[in-house]
Structure 1
Amino acid sequence: MNPVRQVEGRTAALRLENLDTDQIMPKQFLRGIDKSGLRDGLLYDLRFDADGREREDFVLNKPEYAGVSVLLGGNNFGCGSSREHAVWGLQQAGIRAVVAPGFGEIFYSNAMGNGLLLVALPEADVLRLMAEADHVPGNAVTIDVESLTLRSAGGVEARFDMLPRHQRMLLEGLDAIGLSMTYREQIDAFAKAHWEAQPWVKDVARQRLAP
């Protein structure tokens, strides 16, 4: 992953509580064998009607919100199933961060593991940001991962919390495997001590299957 130290971008408000991953990325867009094309499925049933016509009243379809990279969401954003495609679709559509009062637990882990910045703020702060985005379409925010602060062009200033592990992953551009590999020496030392103390269980399956 690329390091994420700061996100600056225009915002759009999605006033939807409990927006689940099935809505973020509907099931019909999960049939591919890779990550390609997920941008087309993002929030599909909210963006289009039953005949495939674009809904003019949906915020992300409005021309004044074209190119936004920060979504402002309702509480429990990303609840529902564990599909990681929801995160990939958001990223493919140019979304770099989501700000909401709370997130689905699995979605949160998937997002942070893929470099999609999630910021949990008190509902009052999120509502102020939404009001700003409505008043000045695409009102900009700056989110600093190192100082854990958010500032908006309209004057909102807030601090947020993040696990040190997730903060390090973002700042250093590490996914879960990459983070694990930073402990390679400790892992090797543990394995060496373990096999030296219990040599009779090392590679038992391979030895039994050997001709």
Structure 2
Amino acid sequence: MDKFEKLTGIAAPLPMINVDTDMIIPKQFLKTIKRTGLGINLFDEMRYDRDGNEMPDFVLNRPPYREAEILVTGENFGCGSSREHAPWAIKDFGIRCIIAPSFADIFHNNCFKNGILPISLPQEQVDVLMKDAEKGGNARISVDLEAQTVTGAEGDVFHFEIDPFRKHCLLEGLDDIALSMQQMPAIESYEARLAQDRPWV
């Protein structure tokens, strides 16, 4: 998993509440177990018409938001089913950080497991960042995970809270497998002892 330390980039405004995981990645794309290749289907039913043509009014189909690395959106983002394909699609599109007043719990947890930083801020602060995002590509937003701050395009600085363990994992690029691999000396010692004490196992 890639480390997350600091990020300055284009923020796409998505002023919608209760965006569920089926909107993020519709059910027909859940057949794969690969974490890559889903970015093209992110928000599929809002991005494309029935013939597969891009709908020019949707934010991620418009320059400069095609290159967005941050998403600013409404409360209860990621509600609905617990599909991990939702953060897979978001990450594969190129978005590394989502800013919203609140997130659905399972989606929130899945973001951290996939190297995405979900930031919860009060509605009035999200409103400021939403207006910044609506200004386009020249209005960059900066996120500093170590300092736990978001800096808007006009210099507004907002502090966010994050669980220390999750912060550590993002800063070091540690997913669940990498965390387990850190325990390899203890695992190998146990396996060697088990082989000696119970060779029939």
Q: Secondary structure at the match of 1:99?
A: strand
Q: Distance in 1 between matches of 2:93 and 2:76?
A: 21
Number of equivalent positions: 196
1:58 correspondence with 2:55: no
1:69-148 aligned within 5 A: 69-134=69-134, 136-138=135-137, 139-148=139-148
Following TM superposition, by how much is the alpha carbon of 1:108 offset from its aligned partner in structure 2, in angstroms?
A: 1.0
> 4+ residue runs of structure 1 moved beyond 6 angstroms?
185-189
| 8 Å CA contact retained: 1:125, 1:156 | no
Q: Distance in 1 between matches of 2:33 and 2:59?
A: 30
Normalised to the residue count of structure 2, the TM-score between the two structures is: 0.87
Q: Distance in 1 between matches of 2:3 and 2:49?
A: 37
Q: Secondary structure at the match of 1:63?
A: coil
Q: Distance in 1 between matches of 2:156 and 2:188?
A: 47
Task: Find the counterpart in structure 2 of residue 154 from structure 1.
Answer: 154
Q: Which amino acid aligns with 2:162?
A: M
Q: Using a 3 Å threshold, how does the CA distance of structure 1 residues 57 and 166 change in structure 2: closer, same or farther?
A: same
Q: Secondary structure at the match of 1:8?
A: strand
Following TM superposition, by how much is the alpha carbon of 1:68 offset from its aligned partner in structure 2, in angstroms?
A: 1.2
Task: Flag structure 1 segments of 5+ consecutive residues without an equivalent.
Answer: 196-201
Following TM superposition, by how much is the alpha carbon of 1:123 offset from its aligned partner in structure 2, in angstroms?
A: 0.7
Q: Secondary structure at the match of 2:16?
A: coil
Q: Distance in 2 between matches of 1:187 and 1:31?
A: 34
Task: Find the counterpart in structure 2 of residue 198 from structure 1.
Answer: none
Q: Which amino acid aligns with 1:123?
A: Q
Q: Secondary structure at the match of 1:75?
A: coil
| 8 Å CA contact retained: 2:10, 2:64 | no
How big is the alpha-carbon RMSD for the aligned residues of Structure 1 and Structure 2? Answer: 2.4
Q: Using a 3 Å threshold, how does the CA distance of structure 1 residues 161 and 64 change in structure 2: closer, same or farther?
A: same
Q: Secondary structure at the match of 2:10?
A: strand
Following TM superposition, by how much is the alpha carbon of 1:132 offset from its aligned partner in structure 2, in angstroms?
A: 1.7
Q: Distance in 2 between matches of 1:40 and 1:66?
A: 11
**In terms of Rg, which structure is larger?**
1
Task: Find the counterpart in structure 2 of residue 199 from structure 1.
Answer: none
Task: Find the counterpart in structure 1 of residue 18 from structure 2.
Answer: 18
Q: Distance in 2 between matches of 1:154 and 1:140?
A: 9
